[in-house]
Every structure is written in C-alpha cells, then in structure tokens.
C-alpha cells in the first residue's frame, strides 16, 4: 500500500510539472524555450565524455635502505603507475579560487604490459582547472602534487614524489579510460544526433535520468581526506603552494680507462639537511639521475653517456652528509 501511495504521489507531481510546463509554453514561450536551452546545455555538459589531458608516470616510494649498504641504487624498483589526468566537463569547477577543487577518479587497475605489469588510474578535473595549470606552471605542479596525495590516500599507496610527464597524453585506449571514469556504459544522448531540432522536454528528462549520477561531488581535504563509498567526485582543498626544494651542491666526474674511453660516472651530492638515507628518493635511468628529498632537495641530471642502471651503486656518508653514486657506462654492444 505504501509503494502504491508513493507511486501515486510521484505521478501527481509529474502531472503537476507537465501542467506548469504546458502553461509556460502557452503563456510565455520565450521562458519555455529558455528553460529548454538551459536543460539542453546541462544535459550536454553531463553527456560530454572525459578527454585526455596529460599522463604521469609515478612509482611506489623507494625504501632506499639498500643505498647505505652499497647495494644497487634502483630507484626504479616497483611497477610503474600511470596516471591519466583528464579533462571532464561533468566535474564542476571550484566556485571561488579558495574553494576546494572537485576531482573524479576511476579504479586502480593492473595491466599486463609487454614486459612487466604496470598499474593505471584515471583522474578527471574540470577543463577550467586544467587550463589554469597550463597558464601557470606552479599551479600545474601543485595540482600534480595534490593528485599524487589523493591517489595515495584513496588507493592506500605510498608514492615517490618524483614523477615523469609522458610525451603522450593517455596510457591505454580512450574508450577504456572513459568507461573507467564513468563507472558504467552510458547511453549515447539523442542531443548530439540531431542538433538542428529543439529537443523535447521528455528527451531532456530521459537523458538527465540516464546520466543521473551517483557521481555527486564529495569533499577531499588536502591534509585529511574523507572517503565516501557512494560518491565518485571528490574535492581537493588547496590553499598553500608547497615549498620548493632547493638544488643541492654536487660534483660529477667522468672516469675513463687507459684508452680514454668512458668507464663510469661518479657523482657526489652534498645533502647537509639530510640525516638518514631513508629520507632520500633516488631514480637512475639509462640517461639521467634524479635525487629528491621531499621539501628539501631535488636534483635532475642528464648523463653525458648512456649507463647501466642495473649495476649502479650509491652510498650515503652520514658523517659528511654526502651521497656518493657510481654508475658504470653502458657497453657499446648493449
């Protein structure tokens, strides 16, 4: 009986709404069409799919304890995490510069690659938020920093503060990214199929109902992040720009053999504010070295020769507070 009563009440409200709309269409056609245009614009906003903006490569934080033992300094240990930062009109923009920034994220997934397995996650912001980042590099760096913190909290991870902005905008396929962010297959709205005709209110309401989202905004604070199982859009509160790390003093020496061929690269980095190697995050690739101590130091060096990162070694001298890195030059046949 209760269900019947509720259904009857809903039908009564729908009938009243249609009556008011019919009256508006007859007595104030301009207001009626204005309402239709507003509803159409809102429906188009909700129906617009997310688009790729930039792709980050991040990694789990390195324990770095092996550095003090002279073991290989493999900052690349751990499977990479690709973060697709996307532009999505469905995610609202902050109402004021000091307001939290809404963000929507899909699930964290593991994907088998050609070599090792990697992880991937999609994060979406309003286009206006990303545009401000493009206009101001500091804002973009801050947004990336907060994105990493958001993913750490949401996925229960500890990520390195080091990241790479990939040359491509999207890891994986566009369709898969859009499905992950939407959470389910969305029906294609009729609005895009016929833009010449004014859509009926019934079409608009049907589209709005189909797109009605459990993706309602949620708050995500920068310092304390709260989760909600039912809500897929969250907000990042960001009022302060993180302190910029300084570039440490360093010395790089190329060691050559008797025939003056490059043998190895030795790097000495002074870190006077570091008391333990566990504070350091080191990444060595074939052509560069990155060392970072969060909120203190950051150094990225392009190497003059391709190196063998697998056999690299690093030792931290606690007394002198210096990090010594030895990187063998790769053999020509490798």
Please indicate whether residue 281 or residue 227 has the higher confidence score (pLDDT).
Answer: 281
DSSP state at residue 94:
P
Q: What is the pLDDT of residue 185?
A: 37
Exposed e or buried b for every residue in 231-249, given b needs 16+ CB within 10 A?
Answer: bbbbbbbbeeeeeeeeebe
CA 111/CA 100 separation, integer angstroms: 32
Q: How far is CA 149 from CA 122, 194, 329, in A?
A: 14, 43, 36
Q: For 210, list phi and psi in degrees, rounded to 5.
A: -65, -35
Can you tell me which residue has the tokens 């996925």?
Answer: 155
Question: What was the pLDDT predicted at 115?
Answer: 63
Please state, in angstroms and rounded to a whole number, the distance separating the CA atoms of residues 91 and 126. 5
154 and 232 Cβ atoms separated by less than 8 Å: no
Highest averaged pLDDT of the listed ranges 5-14, 261-270, 277-286: 261-270
CA distance 313 to 303: 15
Q: How confident is the model at residue 28 (pLDDT cuts 50, 70, 90)?
A: confident
Note the pLDDT tens digit of each residue in 273-307: 988 877 888 888 888 898 888 888 999 888 889 98
Q: Is 268 in contact with 322 (CB distance < 8 Å)?
A: yes
**pLDDT of residue 328 exceeding 90:** yes
- At residue 125, φ and ψ (nearest 5 deg) are -125, 165
Residue 268: predicted pLDDT? 93
Residue 289 pairs with which residues in a beta bridge? 284, 301
Report the phi/psi class of residue 88: left, alpha or beta, with left for phi > 0 and alpha for psi in -120 to 50: beta
Q: How many residues does the structure list for the chain?
A: 334
| pLDDT tens digits for range 235-245 | 666 545 456 78
Pairing of strands 101-105, 81-87: unpaired
Q: Which residues contact 167 (CB under 8 A, 6 or more apart)?
A: none
Choice between 231 and 193, residue whose per-residue pLDDT is larger:
231
Q: Which CATH architecture has domain 250-328?
A: Sandwich (2.60)
Mean pLDDT of the chain: 75
pTM of the model: 0.51
pLDDT at 192: 37
Phi then psi for residue 292, to 5 deg, are -140, 135
Q: Read off the pLDDT of residues 95-150 as tens digits, 9 standing for 90 and up.
A: 887 888 888 899 999 887 666 688 999 999 999 999 988 888 888 888 898 899 89
Query: How far is 49 from 181, CA to CA, in rounded Å?
Result: 9
**167 alpha carbon, distance to own chain's centre:** 15
pLDDT digits (tens, 9 = 90+) for 43-67: 665 678 899 999 999 888 754 333 3
Q: What is the mean pLDDT of residues 167-182?
A: 90
What residues contact residue 193 under an 8 Å CB cut-off, 6+ apart?
none
Q: What is the pLDDT of residue 90?
A: 86
The residues spanned by each domain of the chain are 51-64+77-182, 250-328
């Amino acid at each position: 009986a209760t269900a019947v009563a509720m259904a009857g009440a809903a039908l009564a409200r729908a009938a009243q709404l249609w009556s008011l709309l019919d009256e508006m269409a007859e007595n104030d056609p301009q207001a009626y069409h204005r309402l239709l245009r507003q509803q159409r614009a809102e429906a188009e906003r909700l129906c617009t799919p997310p688009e790729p903006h930039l792709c980050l490569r991040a990694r789990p934080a390195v324990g770095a304890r092996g550095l003090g033992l002279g073991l290989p300094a493999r900052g690349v240990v751990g499977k990479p995490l690709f973060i697709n930062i996307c532009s999505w009109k469905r995610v609202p923009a902050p109402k004021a510069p000091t307001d939290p920034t809404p963000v929507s994220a899909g699930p964290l997934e593991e994907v088998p690659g050609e070599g090792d397995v990697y992880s991937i996650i999609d994060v979406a912001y309003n286009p206006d938020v990303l545009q401000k980042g493009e206009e101001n590099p500091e804002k973009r760096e801050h947004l990336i920093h907060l994105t990493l913190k958001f993913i750490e909290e949401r996925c229960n991870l500890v990520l390195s503060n080091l990241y790479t902005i990939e040359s491509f905008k999207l890891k994986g396929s566009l369709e898969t990214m859009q499905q992950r962010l939407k959470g389910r297959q969305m029906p294609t709205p009729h609005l895009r199929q016929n833009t010449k005709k004014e859509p009926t209110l019934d079409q608009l309401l049907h589209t709005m109902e189909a797109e009605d989202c459990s993706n309602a905004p949620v708050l995500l604070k920068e310092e304390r992040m709260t989760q909600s199982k039912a809500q897929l859009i969250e907000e990042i509160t960001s009022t302060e720009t993180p302190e910029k790390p300084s570039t440490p003093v360093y010395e790089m020496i190329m060691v050559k053999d008797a025939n003056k061929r490059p043998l190895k690269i030795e790097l000495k980095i002074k870190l006077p504010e570091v008391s333990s190697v566990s504070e350091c995050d080191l990444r060595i690739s074939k052509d560069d070295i990155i060392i970072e101590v969060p909120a203190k130091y950051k150094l990225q060096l392009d190497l003059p020769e391709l190196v063998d990162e697998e056999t690299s070694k690093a030792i931290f001298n606690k007394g002198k507070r210096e990090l010594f890195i030895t990187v063998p030059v790769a053999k020509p046949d490798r």
